[in-house]
Chains A and B, each alone.
Chain A
């Protein structure tokens, strides 16, 4: 009688401590420890005039399969892991065109497209093995940008971990067992919040002013030459759109030209009678929206004082031809002069500069070249580019393929020489004379290491305008660099307007889990159950004898009576 309450209390205490232990354990559980964690970059999600494009989802929790899946399987709950090297374009087109249901897509890019990978950087772009991959990726990028995909699409880079996973998945698929909830395999999990709209994406234009020398103090304003490059990018993966060529090369060339002329203008003897205006504009991929805003912010006199504007666009991977794109007819006196300056310098440097005339259609909202924004405001302008034809909207805007591997800094150095020398001829009036101001091995020579270091920085900095913060370190770095070379630097801030709406969540972590199937767990339960039953029977037989075991099954109530 005395024992019973004590025992009761003992049991209660045990329960209490067990519950406390469980609570402590639950508190320190961290469930997100996958076997492999991979950085993934999401396909851009945007609306154009309200029409949705890109990947419309961010979170992912599905089993993985490779391209070797057996036909006629339902893939609506499966993530396809596709290495770019094995990509079958017709498959992608088929799936996207027919909008077949998929659980998700993950594209594995070769390491050479990663901006963290530096080996072999700046090597010549003649490498045959890279060229086909590059073309495939460029085609894929355009398809993905212009498709509406109702599932998450991510990009990742090949590495040892994910290659091993891929090999395993392929092995599974070849045996004809697609991974589903019942057969195990790999599970890919990206836990990301629902993508939200980027509210009023900021654009920041940076302008630097290098004042010319006034000879006499008459009120007459000095003419201005503008050198402009758009600095932002657009691509299938915003977090990977570094745009080394479009328009990293233009930014680098602009900075180097600014540096060279700041040397010249620091000495009153060599200061030219032209003001120089350096403009780094944002919103380039969206019909040069930032350039437009920037130009409209000028007052009328300022705009009229611009003699001409040179826009730099993609000048980092050409062979022996550059193009000057204009919208005024080539017979125009100003245009003629610009072209003459450039082509004569180019001839001396041993390559060709061609002129291409494309009329502006005012009613068409598409602005293919940056100079067209100037021309629309009746400012003489030209674009220097390696592209012979105008790119389409959202094409050649520094996307996935535009990596450092395909840009050669020697080419940019040549472009810089051309630009600086042509400008100098115009400013100092040396037309027709063979004078090299920026000759090699002088203190005015183009500095290749400066070009290279800026190119490297740009090739590691994704800069899709809506995802650049207002005071992004990158914008501040550009501003500071221009401040070093020019007298006055201003930031012109505005909001990206137009038909585009962007959604955030551009990068995420992919957790890869190796999971067992439900069948396996059921089987395990069966095995364990029989193990325990066998163990029970064995123990009963050895300690109490076989009869006891049999009686246990035969007359269970008898035991109850006994214990009670």
Chain B
């Protein structure tokens, strides 16, 4: 029964990634290699991030929200953006369109994040006898994260790969990118600074991820129009 529950939570956490890959044209153009490369870049980035966190951050005894530490953490969080930049621009991809490239990178990115952050707690926790909603919520969070990662990759590809984009949209693109990139810090603030509970935080994440996805989609479409 508990293995059943683990199975359910695993479907919720990792299923959407697979569905996204198979449902979109990504699977037709065989972009798995790109996704795997992005995942490897993510792992390297995570390692660098860990080293930075361990070097610059004090271990806080209390679970309180320390603004200075959080700003530092947010700055370190921008290493993610650097990693994503590397994945989008430096990696040599086979001839896939920009359209698919950012999706593949975002997908690999999100999948690696889910595996790294959620698989272990899921394995340890959801198989136990004790039932909590936490792992279901965690699965929902993984979904939100997938949407956010793809949004961020889309914005990144707009910023770094697309040359002829409308001038008026540039500040909006950058603003959205900053917002999406600081999402981890924002949720951390909500959770610890304001003391929100996990369900509420997850709800917020789902909502904002949908909003950001819509915005970046619109931006992407707006940039697409003159060029096509």
Give chain A's interface residues, CB within 8 Å of chain B: 7, 10, 14, 21, 25-26, 28-31, 33-35, 181, 184, 187, 189, 511, 513-516, 518, 521, 524-525, 528-529, 531-532, 535-537, 539-540, 543-544, 563
Contacts and interface: CB of A to CB of B under 8 A. Distances in A.
B132 to A, nearest CB: 8
Contact of A184 (B20, B23, B127, B131): B131
A34 B131 CA distance: 10
Contacts of B11: 525, 528-529, 532
Contacts of A513: 128-131
A521 B36 contact: no
Given A31-B128, A187-B129, A521 B1 contact: yes
Interface residues of B, number: 30
A391 B63 CA distance: 59
A449 B36 CA distance: 76
Interface in B1-57: 1-2, 4-5, 7-8, 11-12, 15-16, 19-20, 22-25, 28, 33, 36
B74 interface: no
Contacts of A537: 23
B10 to A, nearest CB: 10
Interface stretch (B64-72, B116-124, B182-190): B116-124
A510 B123 CA distance: 23
Contacts of A21: 119
B219 interface: no
Nearest to B10: A528
Given A31-B128, A189-B129, A513-B129, A524 B8 contact: yes
A532 B16 contact: yes
B136 interface: yes
B8 to A, nearest CB: 5
Nearest to A562: B28
Interface of B: 1-2, 4-5, 7-8, 11-12, 15-16, 19-20, 22-25, 28, 33, 36, 119-120, 123-124, 127-132, 136
Nearest to B37: A10
B19 A535 contact: yes
B36 A31 contact: no
B19 A536 contact: yes
11 contacts: A10-B36, A21-B119, A25-B120, A25-B124, A31-B129, A189-B129, A511-B129, A513-B131, A514-B131, A516-B5, A540-B23
Contacts of B127: 29, 31
A543 B24 contact: yes
Given A528-B12, A536-B23, A539-B19, A7 B130 contact: no
A536 B20 CA distance: 7
Contacts of A539: 19-20, 23-24
Interface of B is mostly: helix
Contacts, number: 86
A67 B93 CA distance: 68
A543 B25 contact: yes
B42 to A, nearest CB: 14
A259 B201 CA distance: 68
A551 to B, nearest CB: 13
> Considering residues A28, A29, A518, A539, which has the most beta carbons from chain B within 10 angstroms of its beta carbon?
A539
A518 B124 contact: no
B1 A181 contact: yes
A537 B24 CA distance: 10
Contact of A25 (B123, B130, B131): B123
B33 A521 contact: no
Contact of A14 (B12, B36, B131): B36
Contacts of B12: 528, 531
A30 B25 CA distance: 42
Nearest to A511: B129
Given A515-B2, A525-B11, 10 more contacts: A26-B123, A189-B129, A511-B129, A515-B129, A524-B5, A525-B8, A532-B11, A532-B15, A536-B23, A543-B24
Nearest to A36: B130
Contacts of A543: 23-25
A521 B5 contact: yes
Contacts of B20: 535, 539
B19 A532 contact: yes
A531 to B, nearest CB: 8
Contacts of A524: 5, 8, 136
A535 B131 CA distance: 27
A539 B18 CA distance: 12
Contact of A34 (B5, B7, B130): B130
Nearest to B127: A31
